[in-house]
């Protein structure tokens, strides 16, 4: 039985992930931690968790906890993950893996040194819609992939106009701007479906000046397979420009899908047009957490690993290099 402890039981754990640890097979949530002890207790009571702490050291030292979910902002991912692995605990850490590629490499080094497994919450690898896209590509339905395209345009968040600014746009906490928080998912989807990206060119620009990091990124890519790609991200676009679309073009057709919207996957091949529906699950991380537990208990394999998650951090670093 995998007995989990959560470091950082904030909003992301309320529905997306936290309840799933008690709903997947061979898994249970036994402890949570938050610096605010009142909030930690409140979370534990509402989610029927037996113990709560206000210090990460206490949770990591809990002898019943044999796996730790690090759900804090990225600035503390490496420190907590390394501490947990050195204490003999398996680790599941939120995305992005850390604030830099160098931190990711250190996490991997400690994982290898201690023998403790390390996973990152790129949970789209476990969702039916994205697995369907991968299935379509691998079946050759659109022929050999030749190009991919990412388009993401979103208006500023209301919090972007407030002080203090949200942690997602404070580089020392998040690693960068919204490209680290949102774009990481799209880059991981490409890695999952088409394989690693090994060449990047980019232009990063702060147009609205609402915060320090870039709000606009234009990029070109080449995958190890030779598939090319392009991307445009605008995190401070006019509302009428709102868009979330990924397209993979093959020699005989294309497949279109949303990264965040759970709209049907669109397949165009020859003269045929097909749509594949996939519903948003109650707990979006549940499928992926089950694969993590399966690997930890020797009953399966997780479709993601620390090496692929680190590659995404490397791409993020390259995309924003001129801003650092």
H/E element, 207? none
Q: Which residues pair with 273 in a beta bridge?
A: 268
DSSP label of 255? E
Instruction: Tell me the whole-structure pTM to 2 decimals.
Output: 0.96
DSSP E strands in 154-236: the ranges are 197-205, 216-223, 228-234
Mean pLDDT across the chain, nearest whole number?
97
Q: Specify the pLDDT at position 323.
A: 52
Average pLDDT, integer, range 115-140: 98
The pLDDT value recorded for residue 321 is: 87
Those residues whose C-beta lies under 8 Å from the C-beta of residue 162, and which sit 6 or more positions away, are none
Whose CA is closest to 287, among 93, 69, 126, 124? 126
| Stretch (H or E) spanning 179 | none
* 3-state SS, residue 20: helix
The answer, yes or no, to whether residue 128 has pLDDT greater than 70, is yes
Averaged over 171-194, what is the pLDDT?
98
Q: Does the pLDDT at position 324 exceed 80?
A: no
What whole-number distance in Å separates Cα of residue 123 and Cα of residue 185? 9
Q: What whole-number distance in Å separates Cα of residue 20 and Cα of residue 301?
A: 18
Tokens of 7: 């470091």
In this predicted structure, what is the pLDDT of residue 208?
96
Question: pLDDT per residue over 272-303, tens digit each?
Answer: 999 999 999 999 999 999 999 999 999 999 99
pLDDT category of residue 80 using cuts at 50, 70 and 90: very high
For residue 203, what are the β-bridge partners?
218
* Domains observed in the chain: 2-121 (3.40.50.720), 128-280 (3.30.360.10)
Percent of the chain with pLDDT over 70: 99
What value does the mean pLDDT take over residues 106-115?
98
């Amino acid at each position: 039985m995998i007995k989990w402890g959560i470091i950082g039981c904030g909003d992301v754990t309320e529905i997306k992930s936290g309840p799933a640890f008690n709903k997947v097979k061979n898994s249970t949530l036994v402890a949570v931690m938050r610096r605010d002890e009142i909030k930690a207790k409140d979370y534990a009571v509402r989610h029927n968790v037996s113990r709560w702490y206000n210090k990460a050291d206490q949770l990591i030292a809990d002898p019943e906890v044999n796996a730790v979910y690090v759900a804090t902002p990225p600035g503390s991912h490496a420190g907590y993950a390394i501490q947990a692995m050195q204490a003999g605990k398996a680790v599941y850490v939120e995305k992005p893996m850390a604030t830099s590629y160098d931190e990711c490499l250190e996490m991997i080094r400690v994982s290898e040194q201690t023998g403790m497994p390390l996973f990152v919450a790129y949970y789209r690898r476990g969702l039916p819609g994205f697995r369907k896209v991968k299935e379509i590509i691998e079946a050759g339905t659109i022929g050999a992939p030749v190009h991919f395209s990412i388009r993401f345009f979103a208006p500023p968040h209301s919090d972007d106009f407030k002080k203090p600014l949200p942690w997602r746009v404070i580089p020392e906490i998040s690693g960068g701007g919204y490209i680290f928080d949102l774009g990481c998912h799209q880059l991981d989807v490409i890695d999952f479906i088409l394989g690693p990206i090994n060449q990047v060119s980019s232009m990063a620009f702060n147009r609205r000046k609402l915060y320090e990091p870039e709000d606009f990124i234009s990029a070109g890519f080449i995958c190890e397979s030779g598939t090319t790609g392009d991307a445009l991200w605008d995190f401070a676009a006019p509302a009428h420009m709102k868009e979330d679309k990924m397209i993979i073009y093959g020699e005989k057709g294309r497949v279109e899908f949303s990264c965040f919207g759970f709209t049907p996957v669109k397949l165009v091949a020859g003269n045929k047009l097909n749509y594949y529906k996939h519903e948003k699950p109650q707990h979006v991380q549940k499928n992926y957490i089950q694969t993590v537990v399966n690997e930890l208990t020797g009953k399966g394999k997780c479709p993601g690993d620390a090496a692929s998650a680190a590659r995404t951090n490397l791409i993020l670093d390259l995309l924003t290099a001129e801003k650092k």
